[in-house]
Amino acid sequence: MSAIDTIDQKTFNERFAKLLELQFEGFFMCRIATDPDPTNEQLGVSGYTMALVRESPLDQVIRLQADDDFVKKNLRAPAEQMGIKIGVDVKNVQYDGKPYEPGFAALLDAPVSLEGKNPPFDGPIFDSRNNIVGSDDNMMFVVNPFDLVIRGKGVTLRAVDYLNPAQPDQKIWQIEDPNTYVRRLPSQFTSSSTQVMSILRVFDQATYFNDRLRYLRKSKEMLEAKRKPGKTDPELETEIQELESRIYQIDFWGSRFYTKMAFQLTYDFRANGPQAVQDKKNVLRGTADTTHPWPVTFWFGGWDGDLLVGYMQGTLGIPFLPD
């Protein structure tokens, strides 16, 4: 018998009306192809994003976490010098709007992940498929699948939402009526978000990328100075060519880089399940209601099309009954 079964319905309704709120934020990676490239383009041919020769392919996957090897291979300079660390983590835990100490002890700095797969892609993606099920013009992307997992100390929380709960396995491109999944589209799109600009401390996007160009050109000059007459260093030439490619993309596409730095896509829905809590030692000191949808709101923004990183911030709400 669960704790929920031992209380009367009136008490349940009164106390479970309050939420345990997990607030999270951080930088994410997404090696994504962009129009007019097809969605499954792995190198980047005609869009403004591309995979450099020593990097992993463009796989579209939204990575809220990334292992050290992946970061070493794919996080371009000068991201680390700028203080960019990949990882969306829990930064605050509240119950009924007030700090909740058991939650802090178990969940502060806990990694937040988006899991599951969306074949042929090997993870969750911003699903548009070149405007077939979304709109690239106003960033109407579904995050698909939505399987949010938070792993803390002694506790794991999972919030799942199905595009069509009547047919959980149905693919988005099989759904004839977009109204079925309209709630999973961004509830708000802001093209020039002051919140994003304040977090990233980037208030002039053109200057931001002009600084990037100066950095890349200086790096290229330093590498070229290492060339030795009569000798060819393939590794050195590869590094120089990668910098040339990045410089060309920013120079050629210009505004497509600038404008997206201040974009903010806000999502707001109730995850319809199944929800799950693994807390064998009761480190949260209470009982979570997994029988009703969990409210979740979050945004993606601050997209850097050269570094292929952006920022995420959000809150997962869990109906909760403290001990």
First to last CA, the chain: 15
In DSSP terms, 320 is beta-bridged to 288
Residue at token pair 């260093």: 233
Residue at token pair 């383009």: 41
DSSP strands (E only) in the chain: 19-30, 62-63, 87-95, 98-99, 112-114, 125-127, 142-144, 146-151, 156-161, 188-190, 264-271, 276-278, 286-288, 294-304, 309-322
Q: At 173, is the pLDDT very low, low, confident or very high (cuts 50, 70, 90)?
A: confident
Quote the tokens at residue 74.
């794919």
The pLDDT value recorded for residue 163 is 94
In angstroms, the CA 53 to CA 60 distance is 17
In angstroms, the CA 87 to CA 27 distance is 6
Residue 3 pLDDT exceeds 50: no
The pLDDT value recorded for residue 123 is 95
pLDDT digits (tens, 9 = 90+) for 112-165: 999 999 888 999 999 877 666 666 666 789 999 999 999 999 999 999 999 999
> Which pTM does this prediction carry?
0.92
How many C-beta atoms surround the C-beta of residue 49 within 10 A?
22
In angstroms, the CA 120 to CA 67 distance is 22
φ, ψ (nearest 5 deg) of residue 235: -65, -45
The pLDDT value recorded for residue 11 is 64
SS3 147: strand
In angstroms, the CA 64 to CA 62 distance is 6
In 3D, which of 318, 321, 314, 320 has the Cα closest to residue 23? 314
pLDDT digits (tens, 9 = 90+) for 6-43: 556 666 666 666 899 999 999 999 999 998 888 889 99
pLDDT digits (tens, 9 = 90+) for 52-110: 999 999 999 999 999 999 999 999 999 999 999 999 999 999 999 999 999 999 999 99
Quote the tokens at residue 54.
């020593």
Residue 1 pLDDT exceeds 50: no
Could you say which DSSP state residue 279 is in?
-
| Residue pair 125/60 in contact by the 8 Å Cβ criterion | yes
Residue 187, amino acid: S
| Residue pair 284/259 in contact by the 8 Å Cβ criterion | no
* Average pLDDT of the chain to the nearest whole number: 92
The pLDDT value recorded for residue 134 is 61
